[in-house]
Structure 1
C-alpha cells in the first residue's frame, strides 16, 4: 500500500485512476485547481469528475505553479502521478505563456523541491503525449523510414493534406514506436516533450524511478462534454445532441488512435506497480487508426440524430495528420493489452452521454478565437 499523489487528480484520467487505486488499497492525495473550463463554475455541483472523488481522497485545492501547494502535497508521498497540465493543441498556440507556466514551470517546481529537500518519493509517473511525435513515422518508397516535417500551409490551402517527403514522394503511414523522432508541431507538444525529458533526466539523479506514458487520444464516460478546446468525441457529441451540424476539418480522413479510459487507467497502474516500468517510456493506445469521418458518423448513428456533416477543407495550424501507437514495448515489458476497441468504446461512451444533461455548444467560440489568431484557415 502506497501514498500516491495525483496532480490533476480531479480531471478525467486522474479521477478514474484515483478511484481504481483506492480500490487496490492505496492512499490517495489529489492536487487540482478545479479549472472552470473543465469543472464548471461550482465544481461541487457542476463537476461529476470532482464529485466522484470528493470526500474519498485527501483533496488539496491548489495549483502546480505554487511552491507552497507543492510542498503541502508532496509530504509523505511515495509515488507521484503528474497529470496536471494545460491540454489541447489548438489553444496552446495562442495561450503560450499559460501552457509554458503550468506544464513546464509547474514540473520544474516539483523537481526543484525534490532535489533540495528530504522526501519519501520512490517513483514519478509523468503523463506525456503522442503529440510529441509531431507528424509521426512513415515509410518512403526508396529511403525507408522517414519522419516528415510539419505540413506546409500552402499545400493544405490547395487541399493537399497527406504527408509527402522533401522529394514530394507519397509516404506510407506506420505505427509510431517509442524510438521515433520527437518533433512536436504545437506548443502543447513542446511542453509535454519538456515535461517528459525533465522527469526522465532529473529523477534518476535523485534516486527516484521515472516512468513516462505517451497517451494517445483518451476518451470514455466522464470526460467533459462542455470543453470546446479538446476531446473530439465530446465536442461532436455535444454538437449532435444540440442538433447542430458537424463541420469536419481537412478532408475528414485524418486519423487518431482512440484509447478507452479503462485501458489508460490499467496501463498507468502497471507503470506504478511494476518495477519493469522504471526508467522507461511507453506508448498507450490501441494501435488502430480511426478517421474523423468515422468518428462523426458513428456518433450520429449511436445518438440516432441525423445532423448534417460537412467536410470543409479548413484546417488548424499545429494539427497533425495521422498518428497511431506501436504497442510492442508496453505489451512485452508490462503485459499491457488494450481491452476496449473503438466500436465497443463508442457504444459505452455514447450510452453514458445519453444519460447526461445536454451541454451548451461552445465550439463556435473556440473556433472564432483561433480564426482571430490566424490559426484556423
Structure 2
C-alpha cells in the first residue's frame, strides 16, 4: 500500500513511517520542517535511506496536498501545531483548516482512499470525568475549566458544584468531550470535520485521540510543551524540574511504540471506521511522580520544585479509558520507566543537546501563558 504521512519527519510521524516500512508499505511524507522542532530543516536521513519520498510542503497549502496525494492509498494526518503560546489562529489554520483542505482536495479529485487516520488528542476532554466523594460516587460530573480567580489564589482542585468538596478524577470515555483551550478546540473541530466528511463522501476515516505520547525523537528544541523533554532538559543539566501548580495533576502517558501499533491497527481493521478512539497508557501518574522518575532514571539527585506557577488554560486531571481499543486487541505494552529511559538515552546522545526551558518559560510568562499564583493567607 502507498501511504502518505503528514508531519512524517516528526516524532510520532517518523516512528509511524518506520512501522509502515517494516510491513512493506511505500511511504510518502509531507512535512514543511517548521522550527523550532526542525531547527536545522533536515529531513531524517534514515527515512531517506529506507526509500521514503519527502515532499517539502505545508498542510495549509492546497498545492502541497495535491502533490502529496498523487497515487496514495491511505493518509495519516499527523501534522499539527501544539504549544502553550497565545497565537490562537495558528492552531486552527494548521490543525483544523488543513483537515478540511484534505477532504476538499480528495472530493474535488474524486480520489478513493482505503483509510484516513487523523491524529487527535486527549485534550478534547478538557477536565476529565470527575466524581464527588461527598455527594455520591454514582453521579459523574463534567466540570468546566477552573476560573482565573481560582488559579490566581492557588486553589488547584476542581470543586463539586453541589457541596464544594474536591472532586475525584475518573477514567474518561470517548463520549465526554469538553475542550476548553485553543489547541483542544482546534483538535475537536478537526475530528468533527474528518468524521462528518468521511461519512458523507465515503472516505473511510478514523480518529485516534492520543494521550501524552513519549519516546525517542521528541525534539528537545521545543520547550513549550512535552513533559518528558522539559524535565529531561533540566535534569540532565543538573537543574531541578519545575512542576506547575502543586504537581499533583494526574495524567496518563503512552509510548510512541504503542501509538505506532495503534496507528497500524487503524489502517487494517474495518471496525475502527467512523470512530474516535482513545490511545492511552492505561495508567495515571502525577506530575511529581513523573519528575521523580525522570530524575531517578537519569541518575541525577535533584528534587522537583513547585513554585506555584501555572499555565493558563491547563487541565487539572485527565486520563483516558482505553476499553474500546482493548476490545479491538490493542493495549499499551511499554512500561513507563522504559519510556523514560529510552528518551534519556536518545536525548543525551544528541549533538547540541540544550536546556531551552528557561527561555521558553520567560517567554510564556511575558505572554501571560505562565502565571504566578498568590495564595490568600489566613490571619
Normalising TM by the smaller chain, what interval? over 0.9
1:113 to 105, 118, 143: 105
1:203 to 186, 198, 212: 198
SS of residue paired to 1:184: coil
| Alpha carbons 1:9, 1:32 under 8 Å: kept | yes
Match of 1:14 in 2: 13
1:123 counterpart = 2:122: no
Aligned equivalents of 1:178 and 1:42: distance in 2? 37
Q: CA RMSD in A?
A: 1.5
Unaligned segments of structure 1, at least 5 residues: 45-49
Give the superposition deviation at 1:245. Answer: 3.0
Aligned equivalents of 1:79 and 1:165: distance in 2? 45
Mapping 1:1-377, distance limit 5 Å: 2-44=1-43, 50-55=44-49, 56-88=51-83, 90-91=84-85, 94-140=86-132, 141-142=135-136, 144-167=139-162, 168-180=164-176, 182-332=177-327, 334-357=328-351, 359-377=353-371
The alignment covers a number of residue pairs equal to 366
Aligned equivalents of 1:118 and 1:369: distance in 2? 46
SS of residue paired to 1:360: coil
| Alpha carbons 1:238, 1:358 under 8 Å: kept | no
Aligned equivalents of 2:351 and 2:251: distance in 1? 27
Aligned equivalents of 1:70 and 1:356: distance in 2? 32
- Deviation per CA, 1:312-342, whole angstroms, max 9, x where unpaired? 111111110111111111111x210110121
TM-score, normalization: structure 2? 0.93
SS of residue paired to 2:28: strand
Give the superposition deviation at 1:358. Answer: 5.5
Unaligned segments of structure 2, at least 5 residues: 372-379
| Alpha carbons 1:303, 1:354 under 8 Å: kept | no
The farther-off stretch of 228-237 and 297-306 is 297-306
Give the superposition deviation at 1:344. Answer: 2.7
Give the superposition deviation at 1:308. Answer: 4.5
Aligned equivalents of 2:342 and 2:57: distance in 1? 33
Give the superposition deviation at 1:307. Answer: 3.2
- Deviation per CA, 1:80-123, whole angstroms, max 9, x where unpaired? 110011113x12xx111222111111111111111222213221
